[in-house]
Amino acid sequence: MSAPKNTVLIANRGEIALRIIRACRRLGLRSVCAFSEADRGAQYLDLADASICIGPASATKSYLNIPAILAAADIMGADMIHPGYGFLSENADFSEAVAQAGLTLIGPSADVMRRMGDKVAAKTAMIESGVPCVPGPDSVLPDDIAEITRIAQDIGYPVILKAAGGGGGRGMRIVKSNDALADAFMLTKQEAQRFFSNPDIYMEKFLEKPRHVEIQVICDSHGHALWLGDRDCSMQRRHQKMIEEAPAPGIDRDLIAKIGERCAASCREIGYVGAGTFEFLYENGAFFFIEMNTRIQVEHPVTEMVTGLDIVALQIDVARGAQLSITQDDVQTVGHSIECRINAEDPITFAPSPGPIDYMHVPGGPGVRVDTHIATGSSISASYDSMVAKVITHGATRDEALARARSALNEMRIEGVSTNIPLHCQLLDDDGFAKGGVSIHHLEHWLEKRE
Ligand code: ADP
């Protein structure tokens, strides 16, 4: 029998790297954090058992550099690699390269990742396993404009053009009439090629006032798949989430359970192993699958707060071949949780605001959790994403979680750079959000009114 795996190389940075370090510590595993030149000297690296430089600031030369990451794993004696979110976390070639190097990726196999990473293939798989999808063909659009026009008319305007290989809210375009279709198609195709090296485009009905509701799953390699509840991530700007919560307010729990069970069943059918998220749009009492994320998500803590589970630890456990030690009955949702993503950016213009943190105070108290890698004396690099902290609160009720979020954000101080904390404070006081159940357009409409 091979020796038990005990060293995790973290191929990521920032708050999620620290989150993974914490999970490793809890499991008694050694953590090695990979870092780029831009992150050299960052305080969170000291919390890992070891760290290793993998290249210059440019992500393509460091956090996306597969040979450098594999070499780092080899040098540091790592037998597992955790990719976090973003960077290589949904890259099937990386999953394959890790397996070929004889290492374990904390994530699904290359085959499953490839299938779910292609949104058209994922939609086909979901239709096959009975998960409801947004109306529209589960196939790539042809190049023939007449044919595309016929498909759009069949679906009925407005429609949305989406890149099959898309992600991060890019490669999508809404089309409202026949006249705009040809140009929109060409532009989206070019964008898809440029951003995702895959020009395939598909089309679906553009839902006008949906909510974004998602289901968290965790699956082991012994055929067990559980769903860990739902999250509402409708507070978005430019398709990027800003505030998330669990559970989704005001939706029939029996309907959620039905969808959750379908997701778990679908995982068993496709042989999914690891943590994952099924994303849906929810409108007029119905769920429509949009995509699956085959990685840990930024917003996983709200699910942890209401279930009491450590999803990152579970993710590592199942990657090591362990059986899930809990059953579906053990998964109980208690109270409510809200997460605010704190970005180093101007709260009005959203321009990134990198630079040194002169002073930082992190809020605390009952039901308050802050996941952050920065502290007084840290420096925020211009090379990466501007998210610097997540303020997560829990309460017996949604109102209590909200009240705790308001007081935590009022208490929080980050000096030296601009942050979106003032914006969050205003949003938490917004009547629509406070009531619960807003659509994915609520935040953008709110911002327009502010201007
Ligand atoms: P990405 O992989 O880039 O995150 P998604 O397919 O998850 O793309 O969509 C991101 C966001 O775009 C959704 O949360 C929603 O706000 C919007 N969106 C996607 N598809 C549709 C649709 N058919 N109708 C309305 N909005 C959509």
C-alpha of residue 373 to centroid of ligand 1, in Å? 29
Q: For ligand 1, pick from 172, 205, 235, 238 the residue to mutate: most ligand atoms within 8 Å of CB.
A: 172
What number does the ligand 1 atom closest to the CA of 206 have?
24
Task: Report the residue count for the chain.
Answer: 451
Question: Residue 241 phi/psi, 5° resolution?
Answer: -75, 145
In a 13 Å sphere around the CA of 397, the CA atoms on its Cβ side amount to 6
Cross-strand partners of 345: 352
- Ligand 1: distance of its center to the CA of 235 in Å? 13
Interhelix angle 253-270/110-117, nearest 10 degrees = 130
How far apart, in whole angstroms, are the C-alpha atoms of residue 118 and residue 385? 24
Which among 223, 207, 319, 226 has a CA at the least distance from the CA of 271? 223
Counting ligand 1 atoms within 8 A of each CB, the residue from 239, 241, 293 with the most, and so the one to mutate, is: 239
Q: Report mean pLDDT in 10-residue bins for the chain, 451 residues.
A: 82 98 98 98 98 98 98 98 97 97 97 94 92 94 97 97 90 96 96 94 97 98 98 95 98 97 96 97 96 97 98 98 97 98 96 98 98 97 97 98 98 98 97 97 95 70
Residue 288 CA: nearest ligand 1 atom is 23
pLDDT at 129: 87
Is 164 in contact with 140 (CB distance < 8 Å)? yes
Find out whether 108 and 276 touch, Cβ atoms under 8 Å: yes
Ligand 1 atom closest to the CA of 119, numbered from 1: 6
Q: Which residues line ligand 1 (CB under 6 A)?
A: 134, 160, 166-169, 172, 204-207, 210, 212, 236, 239, 279, 281, 290-291, 440
Nearest to 300 by CA among 19, 10, 7: 19
| Protein residue with least CA distance to atom 2, ligand 1 | 167
Sheet of strand 7-10, all strands in order from the earlier edge strand to the far edge: 50-55, 30-36, 7-10, 80-82, 104-105
Q: What's the gap in Å between 290 CA and the centre of ligand 1?
A: 7
Q: Measured in angstroms, how far is the CA atom of residue 41 from the centroid of ligand 1?
A: 37
List active site positions. Answer: 295
Nearest CA residue ID for atom 11, ligand 1:
239
Q: Whose CA is nearest to atom 13 of ligand 1?
A: 239
The ligand 1 atom nearest the CA atom of 170: 3
Question: Could you tell me the distance, in angstroms and rounded to a whole number, from the CA of residue 89 to the centre of ligand 1?
Answer: 19
Point out the ligand 1 atom lying closest to the alpha carbon of residue 241.
14
The preferred substitution site among 232, 281, 298, 442 for testing ligand 1, maximizing ligand atoms within 8 Å of CB, is: 281
Share in percent of the chain as helix, strand, coil (round to 5) = 35, 25, 35
What is the pLDDT at residue 172?
Answer: 94
327 CA distance to ligand 1 middle (Å): 31
110-117 vs 92-100: helix crossing angle, rounded to 10: 180
The pLDDT value recorded for residue 248 is 98
Q: How far apart are the CA of 169 and the centre of ligand 1, in A?
A: 7
User: How far apart (Å, rounded) are the C-alpha atoms in residues 56 and 62?
Assistant: 6
